[in-house]
Amino acid sequence: MDATEALEHHPHATPPIDPDPPRLPSPPPTATATATDPLNNPYASLNDLSHELSSLQELATRGSWRSILDKVARARTNHLLTKPHEHLTYLSFHLIALTKLRRFADAVAELDSLDSDLDSPNYHYQSYPHHYPNITGSMVPFVLRWLHAELPAKLGNRQETLDRFYTLLHFVRLKLSDSSKLSHFCVELWKKREVFVINTIISHHLSHKEFVICLALIKDLIGKSEGSSSEDKAALLSKLGYVQMQFGDLEGAKATFSLIEGLVSEGKGGVEMENLVSRNKALLYIVGRDYVSAVREYDVCIERDGGDAVAINNKALCLMYLRDLSDSIKVLENALERVPTAMLNETIVVNLCSMYELAYVNHSDIKRTLSNWISRVAPDDFDASSTRI
């Protein structure tokens, strides 16, 4: 059952618009509540937004994507979704689950099965005034547009994905250009979406080592980041530093990292920022082949935050470059056991398996032990092929 079947268009006319309508209490959740009545908040919990949304969100944070597929299927079969937008929310969770489980062809098929284009009036609040009185605009969750752009690359059509993301960027910018219609909060939200889309575009170009265009896009983002928090600016500049380091511009990376340190001393700091600065420092030690100092910096990070997976992983690699393969393995194994939800990451598993392959002539046994442990602990979307068994 797809979203369009449930969306009915009610053709009765809307009442004449009173410029200053009295606000009347109406049955939740579609009614508008008085601004001064906190007890009648129509959005007290996630379930007010959509049917059993709390449960969906909970499953998602636990990585139980197969359960989400079941839940969506059940909701559709048993006609549990009564409002048009709920179908779109459930569709979004369904698509994310399929994509997370690497069932890309299924995800594309489902998205293609929508009868209407995402910009169709079928997905406008004002098309269903008895469901959504006084609400106008698109009910499409932005994530659906993002997935529509991302999925072709998963099936091998990278060019289509890039084209769709650049088109999506244009769409977002058009929304922003007409910002007089939007509330301040909406403008901020659409600006965030603009940054989200640019970031995704950067990650695609980066995967293909198209560094020059990444620099141009990051430069654009830096220009837009004037009003951001120090933490966000530091995060963005760190990406720039990593890109510079990745293609070999060490002087550029050094200069970028020292800009970040300047930001941190301005801001209030906090463990996140302090660890970011320390990890950046460690990277500079690594490129200078001073692995001992890099390990020291990473230890400081781990002391501050025992779940800093990047610090732990990178420290283990440094130990390897210091000829200490045994300790590098121990660092990763211990951390996986101690903070699995932070450490269970496909890249970290790939690194550990590379170390096993070097350390043991018969490494299949130890990799199997790891694989068994992973299958007990990992979320549904964990890519088990990372153990290369």
Partner 1 sequence: MSGTQAAPHSLAFRVMRLCKPTFHVETPLRFDPFDLLTGEDLLNDPVAAQHLPRLLGSQSINSKSTESDLTYRSRFLLQDPYDAVGLSGLLVLPQSFGAIYLGETFCSYVSINNSSNFEARDIVIKAEIQTERQRILLLDTSKTPVESIRAGGRYDFIVEHDVKELGPHTLVCTALYSDADVERKYLPQFFKFIVANPLSVRTKVRVVKETTFLEACLENHTKSNLYMDQVEFEPAQHWSATLLKADDHHSGNDALTREIFKTPPILIRSGGGIHNYLYQLKTSALESAQMKVEGSNILGKLQITWRTNLGEPGRLQTQQILGSPITRKEIELQAVEVPSVIILEKPFTVHLNLTNQTDRMLGPFEVWLSQSDSHDEKVVMVNGLQTIVLPHVEAFSSTDFQLNFIAMKLGVQKISGITVFDTKEKKIHDPLPDLEVCYLYLGGLVSTLNIFVDSD
- Residues of span 181-220 touching partner 1 by CB under 8 A: 182-183, 185-186, 189, 192-193, 195-196, 199-200, 202-204, 206-207, 209, 211-212, 215, 219
The two counts, helices (H) then strands (E), for the chain are 19, 0
| Separation of alpha carbons 307 and 313, rounded Å | 11
The tokens for 62 are 């636990």
The tokens for 9 are 């268009």
* Burial category of 231 from C-beta neighbours within 10 Å (exposed 0-12, middle 13-18, buried 19 and up): middle
Select the span of 9-17, 69-77, 135-143, 367-375 touching partner 1 (CB under 8 A). Answer: 135-143
The answer to whether residue 83 forms part of the interface with partner 1 (CB under 8 A) is no
HSE toward the beta carbon, residue 173, CA cutoff 13 A: 9
The answer to whether residue 342 forms part of the interface with partner 1 (CB under 8 A) is yes
Q: Are 8 and 122 in contact (CB under 8 A)?
A: no
HSE toward the beta carbon, residue 65, CA cutoff 13 A: 19
Q: Work out how close the CB of 112 gets to partner 1 at its nearest, in angstroms, rounded to a whole number.
A: 19
The answer to whether residue 28 forms part of the interface with partner 1 (CB under 8 A) is no
The answer to whether residue 50 forms part of the interface with partner 1 (CB under 8 A) is yes
Q: Which of residues 216-275 bind partner 1 (CB under 8 A)?
A: 219, 222-223, 226, 231-232, 235-236, 238-240, 242-250, 252, 255-256, 259
Select the span of 11-19, 72-80, 132-140, 364-372 touching partner 1 (CB under 8 A). Answer: 132-140
Q: Which of residues 144-183 bind partner 1 (CB under 8 A)?
A: 145-146, 150, 153, 182-183
The answer to whether residue 61 forms part of the interface with partner 1 (CB under 8 A) is yes
Which of 72, 96, 111, 169 is the binder for partner 1 (CB under 8 A)?
A: 96
The tokens for 227 are 């009003």
Measuring CA to CA, how many Å separate 260 from each of 196, 206, 246, 289?
Answer: 21, 22, 18, 22
Compare residues 92 and 387 and give the one whose CB is closer to partner 1: 92
Q: Work out how close the CB of 1 gets to partner 1 at its nearest, in angstroms, rounded to a whole number.
A: 20
Compare residues 74 and 224 and give the one whose CB is closer to partner 1: 224
Category of 134 on φ-ψ map: left (φ > 0), alpha (ψ -120 to 50) or beta: left
The tokens for 334 are 């211990």
Select the span of 7-15, 108-116, 350-358, 367-375 touching partner 1 (CB under 8 A). Answer: 350-358
Q: Are 376 and 359 in contact (CB under 8 A)?
A: no
Q: Are 217 and 203 in contact (CB under 8 A)?
A: no
Select the span of 10-18, 59-67, 108-116, 366-374 touching partner 1 (CB under 8 A). Answer: 59-67
Which of 320, 331, 335, 374 is the binder for partner 1 (CB under 8 A)?
A: 320
